[in-house]
Copies of this chain bind each other. A is one copy, B any other.
Amino acid sequence: MPTTTAPRTARERARAELAAEIKDAARRQLAEVGPAALSLRAVARELGMVSSAVYRYFPSRDDLLTALIIDAYESIGEAGERAVVGRRGDDYAGRWLAVCRAVRAWALANPHEYGLIYGSPVPGYRAPQDTIGPASRITAVMVDIVSDAEAAGRTAVEDVVPLPRRVRADLASARRRHLPSLPERVLERSLMAWTLLFGAVSFELFGHLHDVIEDYEAFFDHEMASTPKLLGLWS
């Protein structure tokens, strides 16, 4: 039994298409009212079907939410991947800035989906394991860049503060499990860069830079261009 096959019969094709249409309608819903108010009935209404029909496709509201979350992670991940396609491997700064811009552009284009995955968790909703894989797609793009810089001997991490034992242990363990290509210190700085990227996007999107910055794009670009150099990921 293959895990995933292309739809065969007309019924299966129709089923897959309708599931996609439901998700699209739910995404539009999401953009209007936010995740907490996402309503199965409203989704059904938009598709001109009766609310109970949606249960043929998603066993509950939470499952629909999960599907949207997975799609959102895949979507932002894909945007990041597309942004670096065709760039020279040793153009670390160019690749990095391209990913950052892609993340920001995706977030601005899909603010509620961004909020769904990087904002406050939806109350009462518990994300299942299935979201972990898709969530790491965008981070993988960023890790690749740092990995390449590291392999080329371009990283220059200096310990401005001694790395405590407990932190070192965590980093070593994470490295073993996920990222053998990154030394602890580089991994730590990568996490900082990652935090800074999503912190910057969240601050802009959630309105915390209001009254401070006008030209968000210029400010973001400058912050993101500075980040890897300040952190010693490459010079």
Which chain A residues have a beta carbon within 8 Å of chain B's beta carbons?
32-34, 36-37, 112, 115-116, 118-124, 127, 132, 135, 160-161, 163-164, 166-167, 169-170, 173-174, 177-178, 188, 191-192, 195-196, 198-200, 202-203, 206-209, 211-215, 218-219, 221-223, 225-227, 229-232
Say yes or no: B120 contacts A170, CB within 8 Å.
no
- Known contacts A119-B120, A198-B199, A213-B174; A222/B164 CB under 8 A: yes
Task: Give the chain B neighbours of A215 by CB distance below 8 A.
Answer: 166-167, 169-170
Q: Considering the complex, give the chain B residue whose CB is closest to the CB of A178.
A: B212
Task: Give the chain B neighbours of A161 by CB distance below 8 A.
Answer: 222, 225-226, 229
A117 CB to closest chain B CB, in angstroms? 9
**Most central of A124, A173, A213 by chain B CB within 10 Å:** A213
- Known contacts A119-B119, A191-B212, A198-B203; A222/B124 CB under 8 A: no
Option from B120, B203, B225 in Cβ contact (under 8 Å) with A120: B120
Say yes or no: B33 contacts A123, CB within 8 Å.
yes
- Known contacts A123-B34, A212-B191; A218/B166 CB under 8 A: yes
* Docked complex Cα distance between A232 and B230 (Å): 9
- Known contacts A178-B212, A198-B203, A229-B160; A115/B124 CB under 8 A: no
Say yes or no: B170 contacts A230, CB within 8 Å.
no
Given A118-B206, A164-B218, A230-B232, 18 more A-B residue pairs with CB atoms under 8 Å apart are A36-B36, A36-B37, A36-B123, A112-B123, A115-B119, A116-B120, A119-B119, A119-B206, A160-B229, A166-B215, A167-B215, A170-B212, A170-B213, A170-B214, A174-B211, A191-B223, A192-B196, A230-B231
